[in-house]
Structure 1
Amino acid sequence: MNHTPLAAGLARALAGAALFAATGAAFAQAPMTAAAAAPAADARDLDAVVVEGQIVYRNRTDALAPTLSYDLEYFQRFEPLTVGDMLKRVPSVTFVSDVLEYDGARLRGLDPGYTQVLINGKKVPGAGDDRSFFVDRIPAELVERIEIVRSPSANRSGDAVAGALNIVLRDAYEFDGGYLRAGALRFDDGEVKGTVGGVASGDFGGGRLLGGFNVQGRYNPKLKRSDRFEEPDGDFTDAENQTDTRDGTDYSANLSYTREIGSGQLSLSGLYVRTDRTEREHSLEYNDPTRNDRDHLLSDNDQVVDIDQKNLALSGSYRFDMLGGRTTADLGYSRFEDVRTDTEEETGYDDDDTPPAFDEREGTRILSDQKDVERSLSLSHQRRLAGGAKLEFGIDAQSKDRDTLRRTSEVDTDDEGAPLPPYADFERAASRIEERRLDPYLMLSGPGGGAFEWEAGLRYETTDVDVREEDERASNDYAVLLPSAHLRWNLGERDRISLSLARTVRRPSFNYVLPLTLEEEYGDNDFAGNPKLDPETAWGLDLGFERRLGAHGIVGVNLFYRDVKDLIEVVNTGRPSATALDDYEDELEEFLGDHPGATPATPGYPQLDPNSFVYTAANVGDGYVYGIEFDASTPLTALGLPDTGVFANYSWLDSEVEDALGKRRFNNQSRYVYNVGFIHDVREYGWAFGASYRRQGDVRSRALAEEVLTRYGADLEVFVEKRFGESFSIRLTGSNLLDAKKREDFHKFDTLGDQLDRDYDEFERESEQAGPVYQLIARYKF
């Protein structure tokens, strides 16, 4: 009998449900009691996220800037571990990561650097050289809601060409009570990881205090296979089998304190996240596609990366009445530290012998230490004008210091069976980037409540950049004017149309502005940084329609367009690469050896004619991005199923940019991404169950010397929930029930000329697969 992947996934889900039923029955035999704390007058009871048993749909926001808002309860039935897991279920977010890794969010399919990630409305530093922030570092349990801001207003930073993702953490003012969460995750290879967390909030010291913590075991075992050929449909060269396991623990905590002081309100908050993670890869390379024994072994490779990351974000704000309006002062401090030890050791065998004989053993250890600190100060003032209009103006100041230290040691031995020498004589490379911003803005909005509502503003962002790489120093400064305007037409109580026009900016990636040269960064080609890069800018248009369905449902459709100017692309400087110069020197040495005393006038004297060069980053050309986004979430009340909720979103995405090889889409932009799901509550028995199915389209990437096609399989998630009284619930969740695969084709070349002529250095096919993950999670409200 043949089974489709979807059928196999559903079979696993049903088996998990049967296991849950047995577990739930055992729990049901134990009596449960709880003393529920009375909620504060202005705070929401935390039992809403524990045992309320109500399906939650997307929120309709009052913001004039087009914004989608999703409370944690929208996601929580499927027990997401991180913000990355949450974003799998919202429109237009894709990922180009390893299977079961959801780190760099790609809003509208664009590189993570085009998406602004905020925590409580404030920028935070991250690990990415492209200024991106990995959203899988924030535990879902600390989050109150996720906001997708499709087009920015003047009172928010303009680094949001694709849009902004605002992660709003729970705060003391909004919640009352507390709960504990504990459970375990079981992975495909039998490994079990625990998870425990809790949140509590209440009156304290004349104000309100909320605290939360979370300890989460993280684990992801994957199997990889690579087959390499001289070219597509060409002769086989070698194959590689690899195990890749990510194993670690995330620790997080957040605090929020709010109290009234005088005529104003003081708010303090803090977030700390630590990731302790080890990535282990073991690869065996063979000269036969079907044999994996010693007689065909070409290399035995081990790589271990120990990662210790820390995120700290502190903020304080005071809002108070002044001069007939409302003034706000905000202070922020964010710090990101990333310490890594990357050790790769390989034993190579000479394929000229049969069987391949030992050649050498070599190892590389890279010690990297990165520290990124941001400090911010914001002052703003709001006041009402005649006729109900509102004026807001302010200034945002930001200071960023990014320090990177990289130390590299390489060792080897020609003695078979001998240990590698100790890692010593580390080659050191240090860099520092200092960025200072001062961004004033002015914003005017019309009165609310009528058929038409509007908002318009100007933001002027100034940036001074100083970079240093060892003894090399450079600086740059630029300023960008960012207008924005939003219009909403309320057609009635249920329907509304929104129109937004805004200019946004993307600052250059850190690795592009450092004044250093990397040899053989692209095949045989070198790359030299360009500290004088200007930012990319984009004019954006969003046109949306939204309709309320009944009391809770909502459906929306949005058209968007981005016209991107001053695109940063890799271009040829015309200077020969180090490889070309080395080849010329070898050719010249050989010629002089055969022709002693030869001069440049000697016939046949070698001439430097490089086919590989030094490339750099430059502002060249333009591009555009466009698409349509649809989302719907509603109970099926009209069909007589008020306790059944359905969810769906679909985004069709496209773009065009031109590089040295011609026209293409923006790199790694999926053509589409969609998610569909349902939740059904059986209220009289305290049960609920649901499923979610997600799929994203293929992505292509084309850079100098390499082109990649990536294809992803679908992801199916299923949950079953049982509630016991008003204080206890338990859920079983299964994810990746279709054993999702990632398949990649790598077209590799040595030079641009080879790439244009399709003269391959290598063609590689790689596949990666991970198995299902099951979670059993219990929650207790107190």
Structure 2
Amino acid sequence: MRKVLLTPAFCLTATVSLAQDPGYRAGDVIELDAIIVDGSITANCVPQDAAREDGDTRPVCLGRGVGRGDLPGATLDHSQFDRLPTGARANTLVKRLPSVTTGGGPGEDKDARVLGLDKEYTRTLVDGLQLPDGGEKREFNLDRYPVAMVDSVEVVRAKTADMEADGIAGKILLHTKDIPDELTRRVEATMGRGSDGLNTYGLTGHVGGMITPDFGAQAVINIARDGGSKEKVKDAANGTRETESESKPITSREILGDVMVGTEVGTFRFKPTVLWQEEAKDKTKAKFTAAGASNGREVEDEDKVKQTVGASLSWVETFGVLELEARGSVFRGSEDKDKTKSTYRANGALQSSETESEHKVDENRSFEMDAKAPILVGPLDGKVKMGLAYRDKHRTKDKDKNGVLATGKDRYILDEEYAAGFVMGDLAFGDVTLKPGLRYEYNRLDGRDPTTGAQAGGTSHDLLPSVAASWQVNEAWSLSGGIGRSVNRPKFDQLSPFETTSGSTIKIGNPDLDPQRATTYDLDLTRKGKRVELVFGLWHRDITGVIEDVEIGTDASGKTIESPQNVGDGTTTGLSMTQRFGFDHLQSPLWAGLTIGSNQNWARSRLHVAASGETRSFKEQPDFWGDIFVEWHSPSDKLSLMAAAGYAGRITTAGDNGNEVRDSELTLDLKATYTFDNDIQVYVMGENLLETERVKRKANGDVERESGPSLVSIGLIKQF
């Protein structure tokens, strides 16, 4: 019986027929080894950074970007998606990865936070590209991307020279599905209802395959309505109370295409993308006196529409021993928001009414080209890789309130130009691989305040050495690590050359901000076994030039001037552990189908602000967080049950009047799946079943409590 390597997040044993495998004979059953999230990707193509095994005739993955390979981090593969209690959006996958937490309100999990740091330190890429989004912190909201087109999701802590250096904590990589060898059609329909009474639905269709050896195509169409609401209560130390009730159903439409054509001059791959999302929010805030009497209320209605439209075109060709790959992309993102707010007095009379509108546009144009050639000198066996990259970004933000254009950081025009070049080796010395490299990055910013006409800009230059290594100690144990230099580019709204006055304070932007810079250290020790698998990960970040808003002086009239500046240095150190225990060796059908997996993460950080002399932790980083997964499948593998619990520890941050605390949080998701003989799969899933409450305790004695609804849904999947 031959073994085939797969990479699910948590172990399972399954049987499949591989009609396309060269050694396959009709009726053969192939047992799949079970491994965890540290492995490589299962795909119909060979990842660009993976070694090709003898007899492997798959094409090299094209248009998917650089993958994790054997770098420290974790991988969650499509073979486990259907078993895990995950919804239809990519955020439900990312939150399962070790060393990752997610942000947003309770149950939302919209953005990724590697190492538990704020989202501004993480970069999310789709097939190696930064898709434009509306956030000021360069984040991409993961609830905007459908799981239906995702082949794998990875967290990469260390980097090699062929990866952009932006993102000190790490990167989240979404790789889209490769085109199936044979025509494949898949339809999934879901319906659900939240504990808040909001109904949800989803309908996804995927069709694709290789029509000829040189031509293939696939497409995904997704239509969905996701519920969204939260309840918030603020009890002030003086006895007063505020309550908020918010409802925000989200409607999404996505179309993702993929066409691959092989010609005499190379292979081309074209991937168009359309993401559309509308959020309709209604919020009511009620105020009460210490005696419990009504003290007025506020009513808000907000409609927000996000769109991302664009495409990438990739090309690869081999000239003798030299392999060239190039890719260009054009994407345009927009975010339009309209809000009305009415304030009422305690007696119910209208006190004030205001309107607000906001419009953001983010346009990215990029080009990159890589060349690879083999190296074989004595014991040295490998390849050298070099490349160039260029990206041009144009971003605008306009906001008005009651018909009056906003000023300051709420209105800007930014043009950002990025260029990079790199050279790196991918060298093998027996069981040891070494990837040394050097990357140069240039970034130029031109900013303009359309209100005042003020213009300013700045440039940065970074020479970024890195080295990654891995050692296959024996069949069970392996060691991988990396050391390198990384950067973190500033938030967009800090870069505008604005100037606004509020009371006795003047606030100004800083287009000449330097990026935050860091030396990064990462190490993973992995044991892969059939029934027990372990990963021990260590990380450290030594960060300089941390950006904060600080006082930089006074003007002639004595007003205080505040501006974002590079004011401090910091460090963060942590440990991540992952375990998987399988019981398939036991004779009992009950125990044989059981798998238990978990991960635990510890972090400590210190940030020293030179201007004030204070030392504190990085904001919103928990000291501990983790997950535990329990899966059971029947002997026939038709029925599977999965429970996933997540825990985030207490967070202490420095506030204006002392330390503020966010209590620990526990979440629970469940899923039951049954597969029929006619390739129909039915599942029932429960998300946020504990209706997790977020509790924040302010230094002044105020306590805020915020909770989101649970959701129960049923789904039907048909593949043919």
Tell me if both proteins adopt one fold, taking TM over 0.5 as the criterion: yes
Which secondary structure does the structure 2 equivalent of 1:683 belong to?
coil
Superposed, 1:271-290 pairs within 5 Å as: 271-288=273-290
Which secondary structure does the structure 2 equivalent of 1:620 belong to?
strand
How far apart in 2 are the matches of 1:518 and 1:670?
A: 35
Q: 1:405 aligns with which of 394, 398, 410?
A: 398
Shift of 1:38: 11
Structure 2 residue 542 is the aligned partner of structure 1 residue 555: no
- Unaligned runs of at least 5 residues, structure 1: 1-35, 43-51, 230-234, 350-356, 410-423, 582-607, 748-761
Hey, what does 1:434 align to over in structure 2?
415
Shift of 1:406: 0.9
Residues 489 and 55 (structure 1), Cα distance of their counterparts in 2 relative to 1, 3 Å cut: closer
Hey, what does 2:303 align to over in structure 1?
306
Task: Kindly indicate whether the alpha-carbon contact (under 8 Å) linking 2:35 and 2:533 is maintained by their aligned counterparts in 1.
Answer: no
Superimposed CA distance per residue, residues 524-568 of structure 1 (whole angstroms, 9 cap, x where no aligned partner): 755321111111110011111011111x76321111001001111
How far apart in 1 are the matches of 2:79 and 2:504?
A: 51
Residues 626 and 531 (structure 1), Cα distance of their counterparts in 2 relative to 1, 3 Å cut: same
Structure 2 residue 595 is the aligned partner of structure 1 residue 645: yes
Task: Kindly indicate whether the alpha-carbon contact (under 8 Å) linking 1:719 and 1:734 is maintained by their aligned counterparts in 2.
Answer: yes
Residues 425 and 706 (structure 1), Cα distance of their counterparts in 2 relative to 1, 3 Å cut: farther
Structure 2 residue 566 is the aligned partner of structure 1 residue 619: yes
Shift of 1:175: 7.1
Superimposed CA distance per residue, residues 152-187 of structure 1 (whole angstroms, 9 cap, x where no aligned partner): 111110012101100011131577512100020111
Which secondary structure does the structure 2 equivalent of 1:567 belong to?
strand
How far apart in 2 are the matches of 1:539 and 1:173?
A: 41
Task: Kindly indicate whether the alpha-carbon contact (under 8 Å) linking 1:285 and 1:297 is maintained by their aligned counterparts in 2.
Answer: yes
Residues 321 and 204 (structure 1), Cα distance of their counterparts in 2 relative to 1, 3 Å cut: same
Hey, what does 2:65 align to over in structure 1?
none
Hey, what does 2:234 align to over in structure 1?
226
Superimposed CA distance per residue, residues 414-455 of structure 1 (whole angstroms, 9 cap, x where no aligned partner): xxxxxxxxxx4555764211011110100112136x221111
Q: 1:681 aligns with which of 615, 619, 633?
A: 633
Task: Kindly indicate whether the alpha-carbon contact (under 8 Å) linking 2:74 and 2:97 is maintained by their aligned counterparts in 1.
Answer: no
How far apart in 2 are the matches of 1:182 and 1:479?
A: 50
Superimposed CA distance per residue, residues 692-734 of structure 1 (whole angstroms, 9 cap, x where no aligned partner): 1111112244466896432353111111111111410100011
* Greater mean alpha carbon deviation, residues 211-220 or residues 357-366: 357-366
- Unaligned runs of at least 5 residues, structure 2: 1-15, 23-30, 41-49, 51-68
Which secondary structure does the structure 2 equivalent of 1:677 belong to?
strand
Which secondary structure does the structure 1 equivalent of 2:120 belong to?
helix
- Quick one: percent identity of the two aligned structures? 20
Which secondary structure does the structure 2 equivalent of 1:136 belong to?
helix
Hey, what does 1:26 align to over in structure 2?
none
Hey, what does 1:729 align to over in structure 2?
681
Shift of 1:645: 2.0
Residues 102 and 215 (structure 1), Cα distance of their counterparts in 2 relative to 1, 3 Å cut: same
Residues 174 and 336 (structure 1), Cα distance of their counterparts in 2 relative to 1, 3 Å cut: farther
The residue type paired with residue 309 of structure 2 is L
Hey, what does 2:704 align to over in structure 1?
766
Task: Kindly indicate whether the alpha-carbon contact (under 8 Å) linking 2:150 and 2:175 is maintained by their aligned counterparts in 1.
Answer: yes
Structure 2 residue 577 is the aligned partner of structure 1 residue 630: yes
Q: 1:74 aligns with which of 80, 93, 96?
A: 80
Residues 706 and 348 (structure 1), Cα distance of their counterparts in 2 relative to 1, 3 Å cut: farther
Hey, what does 1:168 align to over in structure 2?
175
Residues 374 and 215 (structure 1), Cα distance of their counterparts in 2 relative to 1, 3 Å cut: same
Superposed, 1:450-489 pairs within 5 Å as: 450-470=430-450, 471-489=453-471
Q: 2:244 aligns with which of 242, 245, 266?
A: 242
How far apart in 2 are the matches of 1:38 and 1:627?
A: 41
Task: Kindly indicate whether the alpha-carbon contact (under 8 Å) linking 2:342 and 2:350 is maintained by their aligned counterparts in 1.
Answer: no
How far apart in 1 are the matches of 2:601 and 2:169?
A: 14
The residue type paired with residue 362 of structure 1 is S
Shift of 1:390: 0.7
Hey, what does 2:386 align to over in structure 1?
393
Hey, what does 2:11 align to over in structure 1?
none
Shift of 1:321: 1.2
Task: Kindly indicate whether the alpha-carbon contact (under 8 Å) linking 1:64 and 1:453 is maintained by their aligned counterparts in 2.
Answer: no
How far apart in 2 are the matches of 1:705 and 1:467?
A: 35
Q: 1:268 aligns with which of 270, 284, 288?
A: 270
Q: 1:217 aligns with which of 204, 225, 228?
A: 225
Structure 2 length normalisation: TM-score?
0.86
Task: Kindly indicate whether the alpha-carbon contact (under 8 Å) linking 1:39 and 1:177 is maintained by their aligned counterparts in 2.
Answer: no
How far apart in 1 are the matches of 2:692 and 2:348?
A: 37
Residues 86 and 513 (structure 1), Cα distance of their counterparts in 2 relative to 1, 3 Å cut: same
Residues 332 and 174 (structure 1), Cα distance of their counterparts in 2 relative to 1, 3 Å cut: farther
Q: 1:321 aligns with which of 307, 318, 322?
A: 318
Which secondary structure does the structure 2 equivalent of 1:622 belong to?
strand
Task: Kindly indicate whether the alpha-carbon contact (under 8 Å) linking 2:674 and 2:682 is maintained by their aligned counterparts in 1.
Answer: yes
Shift of 1:674: 0.5
The residue type paired with residue 243 of structure 2 is N
Residues 528 and 376 (structure 1), Cα distance of their counterparts in 2 relative to 1, 3 Å cut: same
The residue type paired with residue 777 of structure 1 is G
How far apart in 2 are the matches of 1:174 and 1:765?
A: 57
Q: 1:361 aligns with which of 337, 351, 355?
A: 351
Superimposed CA distance per residue, residues 374-401 of structure 1 (whole angstroms, 9 cap, x where no aligned partner): 1111111000022322111110011011
The residue type paired with residue 144 of structure 1 is D
Task: Kindly indicate whether the alpha-carbon contact (under 8 Å) linking 1:746 and 1:763 is maintained by their aligned counterparts in 2.
Answer: yes
Task: Kindly indicate whether the alpha-carbon contact (under 8 Å) linking 1:337 and 1:372 is maintained by their aligned counterparts in 2.
Answer: yes
Hey, what does 1:46 align to over in structure 2?
none
Task: Kindly indicate whether the alpha-carbon contact (under 8 Å) linking 1:188 and 1:770 is maintained by their aligned counterparts in 2.
Answer: no
Residues 325 and 425 (structure 1), Cα distance of their counterparts in 2 relative to 1, 3 Å cut: closer
How far apart in 1 are the matches of 2:215 and 2:203?
A: 28
The residue type paired with residue 568 of structure 1 is I
* Greater mean alpha carbon deviation, residues 386-395 or residues 357-366: 357-366
Which secondary structure does the structure 2 equivalent of 1:446 belong to?
strand
Hey, what does 2:39 align to over in structure 1?
60
Question: Normalized per residue, which structure has more helix?
Answer: 1
Structure 2 residue 103 is the aligned partner of structure 1 residue 93: no
Q: 2:552 aligns with which of 573, 581, 596?
A: 573
Hey, what does 1:416 align to over in structure 2?
none
Structure 2 residue 379 is the aligned partner of structure 1 residue 379: no
Q: Which of the pair has the greater relative contact order for Cα pairs under 8 Å at 6+ separation? A: 1
Task: Kindly indicate whether the alpha-carbon contact (under 8 Å) linking 1:443 and 1:455 is maintained by their aligned counterparts in 2.
Answer: yes
How far apart in 2 are the matches of 1:175 and 1:128?
A: 39
Hey, what does 1:711 align to over in structure 2?
663
Q: Look at both structures and tell me which one has the larger radius of gyration over its CA atoms.
A: 1
Structure 2 residue 691 is the aligned partner of structure 1 residue 739: yes
Structure 1 length normalisation: TM-score?
0.80
Alignment length (residue pairs): 657
